[in-house]
Structure 1
Amino acid sequence: MARLDVNRSGEMEVFARVVELGGFSAAARAFGMTPSAVSKLVARLEMRLGTRLVNRSTRKLQLTLEGMAFYERSIRILADLDEAERNVASNERPVGRISLNTSASYATHILMPVVPEFLARYPEVTLHIIQTDTVIDLMEERTDVAVRAGPLKDSNLIARKLGATRMTLVAAPSYLKQFGEPKSVADLDNHNRLGHCYTRAIEGWPLLRDGEPVTIPITGNAKTSDGEALRHLVVAGAGIARLATFTVREDIKAGRLKAVLEDNNPGDLEEVHAVYLGQGGPLPSRIRALLDFLGEKARVG
């Protein structure tokens, strides 16, 4: 069994350069070593192998039969090592599976329309998309990348910002026709205020009343675990909700929803990040490709 403190690939590389350059001095110059250090390295190699590899003279260096055999095998091994490193280097083409965790809202309105382009650009990547608004443990869930909205608390994560979204109070025209459109923050007391039921959901809606910030509690008769389900409830006329603008922009344009109390909107923004575990060293090329693509094609605004 080889000793752990023996750098066999390094010895092979020095020995191969000695053979290719025709001597210890030339190899020493190539590696920034002294000729005596190269000579001692070859001597240690011969002692470990139990055979002479080169016949030394003052004028030239001659390989023994064993030395020639070892040289030929060494250059094949070194070539294999180079290929192995190239195959996993960060500049190699993206290959393999990526597990991406994201909210249903981001998946529906931002991600899914551009996923076909990502898969066409990287045909050797398989993308597994899991939708949930619950904050997960990336390591426990074996997740490569997660897209999260709101403040980040996990210091073990590295984040890449994908933009920020304004929040908007919205309701369906059918709901407003039946219950009236609120004209002031106080009018919300007479409305069904829908919200979220996941653990990190905010306690209320931050609004402005007479220029001062207030928080309106969410006391409606329905809450959902993800923003997209909540959007569907509001479009169906179930009540009023406060949703990310990027998720309701098309509904407002199409007349399916109407923004309410815009004068009382504090204009706060919810940041969106792609997060991943920071383990040090370069990222696998497939993960880097996804992060770059999200930053290019799947930003929130």
Structure 2
Amino acid sequence: MDFSGRSGEMMVFVTVMEQGSLSAAARALQLAPSAVSRVIARIEARLGVRLLIRTTRTLTLTAEGQTYLRAARRILADLTEVEEAIADQASPRGRVRLTASLAHGRLYVVPLLAEFTARYPDILVDLNLSDRVVDILGGQADVAIRFGQLADSPLTARRIGETGRVVVASPSYLARHGTPEQPEDLFRHNCLSFSFRRAEPGWPFRRGGVDMAPDVTGSIEANNGESLAQLALAGVGIARIGTFAVKDELADGRLIPLLEAFNPQDREPLHLLFVGGSTMPARVRVLIDFLAERLGDGA
């Protein structure tokens, strides 16, 4: 490496202080000790101040040397960041953390990852499937796929689709317990619900243009829609979950839609959430673009 330029000189100076001696810095930089000494002398001559006080055993920074060291470290860090950003734009690489709900992630996101990693082999996708909200601003994820209305936040949201919700039960459950005909009938049934707090306290219905939300109860609560779908399939009870999660089961009759005449046809938007701005790494940007392209209105 050429150490004749200003950035090269700064690197030599920083290395000397990190290594603790001219000889150790020379070994780290693969230079002769005399070459390292000349670089330090050149910096001091140009600045017209002493940066280091050298004895046979120690190196001590002067006040000017401390100022120069802080500035040199900052400038070298900025240079590294710029170069990595430019290289990242040319060939996205590194780890990108993606979080999605359990059911949607398993059914829709996981099948796409082979295509994504084939397209971007230098990106490592760190996938977290959970129906719990992950804190992006707190650094727990780079991109989140979220259903529902979004709270105000400094995050950037990109809407890519929407889904409805449906009340379902298995034929075996209905054969044993009967089919509810009115929303109030649910009070006599085992209604399987989410364990975390949702926007609506009960299950919303609409009758004659009037909205209602009976606060149903049951024997099991779960923190993800996939578990509720499996419990409904097993004949344990009635669940209200995203249509996307039970599309195949509804199509082949393993689950039966209930109370559709009272379905308020509420739609949950589907968003990609991330920290936007010009400093967004290319690895995050290409994942967002890929998911928007492949998941758009697919839920």
TM-score of the alignment, normalized to the shorter chain, above 0.5: yes
Deviation at 1:198, TM superposition (A): 1.4
Deviation at 1:141, TM superposition (A): 4.3
Contact (CA 8 Å) 1:203, 1:218: kept in 2 or not? Answer: no
4+ runs of 1 displaced by more than 2 Å? 47-50, 81-87, 139-142, 199-202, 298-301
Contact (CA 8 Å) 1:86, 1:92: kept in 2 or not? Answer: no
Q: What SS is found at the alignment partner of 1:241?
A: strand
Task: Find the aligned partners of 2:291 and 2:90 in 1 and give their Cα distance.
Answer: 19
Report matched runs for 1:194-273 at 5 Å.
Answer: 194-200=192-198, 202-273=200-271
After TM superposition, the score normalised by the length of structure 2 is: 0.70
Partner AA of 1:151 in structure 2: Q
> Per-residue displacement from partner, 1:219-247 (whole Å, max 9, x unpaired)?
11111011111111111111111111111
Task: Find the aligned partners of 1:134 and 1:199 in 2 and give their Cα distance.
Answer: 10
Deviation at 1:146, TM superposition (A): 1.1
Is 1:292 equivalent to 2:289 in the alignment?
yes
Q: What's the counterpart of residue 164 of structure 2?
A: 166
Task: Find the aligned partners of 1:217 and 1:205 in 2 and give their Cα distance.
Answer: 7
Task: Find the aligned partners of 2:182 and 2:228 in 1 and give their Cα distance.
Answer: 23
> Per-residue displacement from partner, 1:12-56 (whole Å, max 9, x unpaired)?
xxxxxxxxxxxxxxxxxxxxxxxxxxxxxxxxxxx9579xxxxxx
Contact (CA 8 Å) 1:103, 1:133: kept in 2 or not? Answer: yes
Partner AA of 2:145 in structure 1: V
Contact (CA 8 Å) 1:195, 1:224: kept in 2 or not? Answer: yes
Task: Find the aligned partners of 2:124 and 2:237 in 1 and give their Cα distance.
Answer: 40
Q: What's the counterpart of residue 21 of structure 2?
A: none
Partner AA of 1:108 in structure 2: R
Partner AA of 2:136 in structure 1: L
Q: What SS is found at the alignment partner of 1:112?
A: helix
Q: What's the counterpart of residue 276 of structure 1?
A: 274
Deviation at 1:298, TM superposition (A): 2.2
> Per-residue displacement from partner, 1:145-196 (whole Å, max 9, x unpaired)?
1111111114121111121101111111111111111122232222111110
Task: Find the aligned partners of 2:257 and 2:140 in 1 and give their Cα distance.
Answer: 39
Partner AA of 1:260 in structure 2: L
Deviation at 1:202, TM superposition (A): 3.3
Q: What's the counterpart of residue 62 of structure 2?
A: none
Task: Find the aligned partners of 2:82 and 2:136 in 1 and give their Cα distance.
Answer: 27
Q: What SS is found at the alignment partner of 1:195?
A: strand
Task: Find the aligned partners of 2:130 and 2:239 in 1 and give their Cα distance.
Answer: 19
Task: Find the aligned partners of 2:264 and 2:197 in 1 and give their Cα distance.
Answer: 24
Contact (CA 8 Å) 2:131, 2:224: kept in 1 or not? Answer: yes
> Per-residue displacement from partner, 1:269-293 (whole Å, max 9, x unpaired)?
0111111124x32421100111011
After TM superposition, the score normalised by the length of structure 1 is: 0.69
Report matched runs for 1:152-163 at 5 Å.
Answer: 152-163=150-161
Task: Find the aligned partners of 2:154 and 2:245 in 1 and give their Cα distance.
Answer: 29
Q: What's the counterpart of residue 107 of structure 2?
A: 109
Q: What's the counterpart of residue 149 of structure 2?
A: 151
Q: What SS is found at the alignment partner of 2:105?
A: helix
Report matched runs for 1:30-41 at 5 Å.
Answer: none
Partner AA of 1:287 in structure 2: V
Contact (CA 8 Å) 2:166, 2:263: kept in 1 or not? Answer: yes
Task: Find the aligned partners of 1:205 and 1:294 in 2 and give their Cα distance.
Answer: 30
Q: What SS is found at the alignment partner of 2:111?
A: coil
From the superposition, tell whether residues 186 and 287 of structure 1 become closer, same or farther in structure 2 (CA, over 3 Å).
same
Partner AA of 1:155 in structure 2: S
Task: Find the aligned partners of 2:81 and 2:242 in 1 and give their Cα distance.
Answer: 46
Instruction: Return 5+ residue gaps in structure 2 as ranges.
Output: 1-5, 8-44, 49-77
Task: Find the aligned partners of 1:213 and 1:199 in 2 and give their Cα distance.
Answer: 20
Q: Which of 1 and 2 has greater Rg? A: 1
Percent identity reads 39
